[in-house]
Amino acid sequence: MEKLLLTGLLAGAALCGCTSIGPPAPAASAGMAQVPRYRCDHDIEFTVRFGDDTATVDAGARGSEMLLRDAGGVTPQQTVYSNPRLRAEFGLGASGREAILHYLASTLVAHCLRDETP
């Protein structure tokens, strides 16, 4: 009887070990917001993270810029952020999904559209 019990315990331990191979998959928090992604003219794509009166625009090869909130925007849905190199306007268009990037040094203006979230 002891031998049977010991065999059962060992088999159970082996099965438990099989189910825990590899690191656990990270759990997505229900409250975790998606990072908005925009696609623009001139083959520019970027993501943006909004903070307290800041927006961090990450445009890949064009670099990442920390922008500060400006006065501006015609409606409450429109927000404007800038630094000496870049001015970004968000919340534009009928749907509020449009943005404009003004690269000040090169006088490049890119019209952008936020990707729909799945």
Q: Give the span between the Cα atoms of 52 and 1, in whole angstroms.
A: 67
For residue 116, the model assigns a pLDDT of 85
Report pLDDT digits (tens) over 13-60: 444 444 433 333 334 444 456 899 999 999 999 999 999 999 999 999
Q: Would you say the pTM of this structure is higher than 0.85?
A: no
Give the residue extent of every domain in the chain.
37-114
Q: Give the span between the Cα atoms of 20 and 16, in whole angstroms.
A: 7
List beta partners, residue 67: 55
Q: Are strands 37-40 and 45-51 parallel, antiparallel or unpaired?
A: antiparallel
The DSSP symbol for 117 reads: P
Report pLDDT digits (tens) over 102-118: 999 999 999 999 998 65
For residue 34, the model assigns a pLDDT of 82
At which residue do the structure tokens 């082996």 appear? 14
SS3 content of the chain, % helix, strand, coil (to 5): 20, 40, 40
Which of 106, 109, 101 is CA-nearest to residue 38?
101
Which of 35, 37, 62, 63 is CA-nearest to residue 49?
35
Confidence of residue 73 (pLDDT cuts 50, 70, 90): confident
For residue 113, the model assigns a pLDDT of 97
78-98 mean pLDDT: 95
